[in-house]
Every structure is written in structure tokens, then in C-alpha cells.
Structure 1
């Protein structure tokens, strides 16, 4: 049998993610070859919010799929646009890593132990907005680069802490460097954080069947809800939006619980809403929760800064009570 050509970005984290998928396919009896692909996101040092964010890391991999240079590609789902790519299909969403954000701080400090004025690095407007909303008096500093680059700013004493995705540190075998895994009550992760998408050409039935063996129904339902919310908000990965869906045990069996955050970068507005419903209604749950957020002013917070009204924060409704909504 010809080896399956699995396209991967060259970064250590991307290779780790792709290697994990390749090992599972090999364990099932399939021959897999990793094919390195360079993406625009890997070659630019500009902040993601300035150079496009969503889709930046996926476009080169998708081009290689379309051109037949690879048979499947592994993406971090949070890097994928919510609009489906014509001619391609997400054949599997494997079991999800812990989606929480993680703090790596000097002297083993937790977020609450950092002193007023401590410098905390992140390249995410979502994290910046939620850190500022906590009112801890932290100075949030924009950073870019791979995990080693970001942790290097801490080692050199340039920052007091950095916030990273826990899943990335887990895949790199670096969980021991985490000083606190952040509770979603404090900081909701990015939609799809911790989850992978394995993408194939829609007309490649044999590869779709092979890859489909890796699909995890709960993980797919959760990211479907989170990405449906993101799509309905018309927000990309550079918008200050957090979301987390979980399959939980309800009174009548498994249910899907979805929480979401939309906020102002300066922390002046912190909208948090939630819904619970049937797992099979994942997409509808995400859309309905997005509409609830939009009714409460989220549109003024998710549009690009150049298009936003300077008074947008005042237009939103920071005082609106958080009343969990149940969808039947």
C-alpha cells in the first residue's frame, strides 16, 4: 500500500501534533509519511491580528491538498476559518487535549499571586481582554513566536509570566513548566483550543474512511458548537472571543453545555453567557448563544479596531446579568 502523505507545518508543536496522528494511523496498520509544509504564519514576525490570523497557518496546507502533494493535513482547529473549504472535508476530530489556558510564571507564581504591575505576555486579544477584566492591575504585553520563543522572554526576565495553550505544552511534553492551569471561570479558551482537525480531499474516499477511524464524537460536537458561535458572531481568531463546550451528564442523559465570552480589550466590558441543550443540537446551540451575545452588544466588540466605534464599549451592556439559558 502506498504511504499516506500527511502534511504538517515545520514548527515543533505542529510536528508533535502531526506525529501523534501519524502514530495512531500506523497503530491501525497504515503507512504514513510526514511531509513538511512552510506556511505564511511560520515566516512572519508580525502579530497575528495584523496579518490575518484565521487561516494563516492553514492556507499552504490546504493548497498542498488541492494540488495532490499530500493526502491529509493536521490543523489546530482554532487556526481554521469557520467557512468550509470547497473540495475538502474534515474527516476526523480526534480526542481533545485539555483546552484550558496555562500560566507559566517566574518563581512558580499563580495568576492571583502576581504583583500589581507584573508584565504578562500573550499574543491573543482574547486573553488580553480577560486578563484586563479580572482587574488585577497586570500589564499585558504583546508577544509572538513559538513556545520556546515565548518562554524565552520569561527566562530572560523580560516578562513576569506568559499565557499559553495548555494543550500545546502537553503535546511538547512541557506540562511541568506550568505554574497554573487557568480555570475557565477566569479565562475561557479560544473556540476549538486543544482540538485537532484532520482534513482530506472530499473526493478521496479511501483516505476519508481511514482517517474517520480517529474521529471522536464528543470532541466533534464540542468544537462544532464553539465554531458555530464564532461563525454567527462573524469573528475570527484575532477577536476577543472565548468559548468552551463540554458534554456533561444531565437529568435525562448526556447534554452539551456551552459557555462564551466576548469583551473589550481594556477589560471594560465582559459579556459571559451560556446555554445547555442536546448534544445533537451542537451547531444550533452555538448559533443561538451567539445571537444572545449580539443582542447584548457583542457586535461592537468583535469588529476590527479600524472599523470599531471608539465608544463601542459604552454601547454594549456590561451590566446585563448572566442568566444561563437552556434550549429545549
Structure 2
């Protein structure tokens, strides 16, 4: 007996129902996209009344460029026939990004921030360029600080690394105190040993000088590194295996993926950052040195000198002991400048009229 195949009404019903649902979902996405664009336009229009004319033009240009670029791409994405391919590409990119280490994610974000910032600067013009550049440099500084702390932790966990860090801090502090001592001596022309408080403040103020020196060293190293990397790149895995054999496995192998691209980015990123920091420091070092010189006189007068009764002082004068019964005396001029006299003994000072009670 022949068996008649009945049509599967359920499947045909589902198939018929799935098409309108898909169309309705895409229609809802399209309506939501246009509503979002409309809200953005209204927000810019309302905000433009509270902005200066030059900033208003920049904001309108930026939002206009964003809408002209993003809106068509969003519509194409909604009605693209092979939308599943785009979804798989998006998931694959998200998977690769999630597999990266934290510092590698920051490097990727730096590239995104840079490209977006350059696009905004190009679209918005000069009125908002300073704001974008400040935000970009702030993020770059965050990346640098994170890397420095990460490298510091990695070095500190090793005994030799602790010794290297200790030597570096000792050398930096000795350099800072030496510069502070020279600055004090150039200001008051006496030995700086009795002005410890001022020396401490000036030593702290020399940190920017140390950072400029470090930036110069980093910039030089990043320029030399490509030349030193030619031989390892030519030898490839042979060089890596030779190094592992030489150190007998005492250095742990890094588990970070995409190491080559990461190293290339680090050389470019830190080379540019260090070069900019060194150039900016060289251009402003004379201005900063003048500020330090002015601050030195103020610090000595206010922190290392006092209104003593060892000597007959003029009103408003202060003194500081230098040893061998000698004192450094300073007073403020009528213009408010601090004037340091030559070191004297109290007996050599002229007698001053008695101060009335």
C-alpha cells in the first residue's frame, strides 16, 4: 500500500513566518539607526547655541562627517545579504583581541585613538585640535606608566633586577643632590652643606632633568635597535634556539603572542614618545632653569634662614650659620627681590639701633 507524503505544514509555516520577522527586525534596526542620528543632530543643534562660533563650526563638521560615514555603513550592514559573514568576522576580531595581553590591548587601543584623533583633527580643524592632542597624550602617558610599572615589577622579582634598580635609584638621587648643591652654590656662593631643606626641594625639582636624560637615552636606543635586530631576523628560529642553548634554559620563554609585531610597535611608539619628550625638554630647559634659580633664593630665605639674635640684624633680615662663627645674611630689597650679602662674622657688623618694645 502506497504511503502518501503529507506536506509539512509546520515547517512551511515557520519558513513563511521567518522571512517577515527578519524583515521586521531589519526595519526596526533601520528605524533605530535613523532615530539615533536624529537625536545626535538635535543634540548638536541645541549645544551649538552655547558654543563660540569657531567651535560650533568644528563640532558641526565632525558630526556631519560621522553621519556621512557611519550612516551608510550601518545601512549596508543591516541589508547586507551575507550578514552572517560580517558577524563571523566581528566575532573573530573580538576573539583575537581577547587573546591579547593587557599591554598589547593598550597598544591596539593606542592605534585606534591615534587614527580617530587624527580624523577628528582633520575634520574639526584647529579650534579643537589642542583638546584632542591633550586627550591623546594623556592616554599615551597612561600606556607608558602601565608599561613602566609592568617592567619594574618584572625586574624587581629578580635578585639581579633588585640590584640594578637599587643602583639606578642611587645614581639618580646622587645626580639630583649634586645638581641641587651646584644650584645653591651658584645662588649664594657658599658651601651648600648647611642648606639641607633647600637641597631636598631642588633635588625633587631636578626630576624633569632626569626624565629628559632618560628620554634621550631611550630615543637613541630605539634608533639603534633596528640595526641590532637585522642579524636575529635573518637567522630566525636559529638565533632563538642558540640563545636558549647558551643560557641553558635559565631565562623563561615568553608566552605572549605576536611578539614580533609587539616589539616593532614598542620601538616605534617609545621612539616617537621619547623623541618628542627630549625635544620639548631641550626647548624648555632654559625657562625651567630660570624658575629653579628664582625658587632657590626663595627656598633658602624661607626654609633655611631665620630671624636670629646672634647678630645685630636690620629689620627684615635673616641669617643662616655657616660655621667658624660666620653667618650668611639676606634681606629683601624694595622691589621684593632677595639679596644675599657676603658671609660675615657678627662682630664685623655695624651696631643697629635698639628695637623699641
TM-score band w.r.t. shorter chain: under 0.3
Which has the larger share of strand?
1
With normalisation by structure 1, the TM-score equals 0.19
With normalisation by structure 2, the TM-score equals 0.17
Q: Which has the higher contact order (CA 8 A, sep 6+)?
A: 1
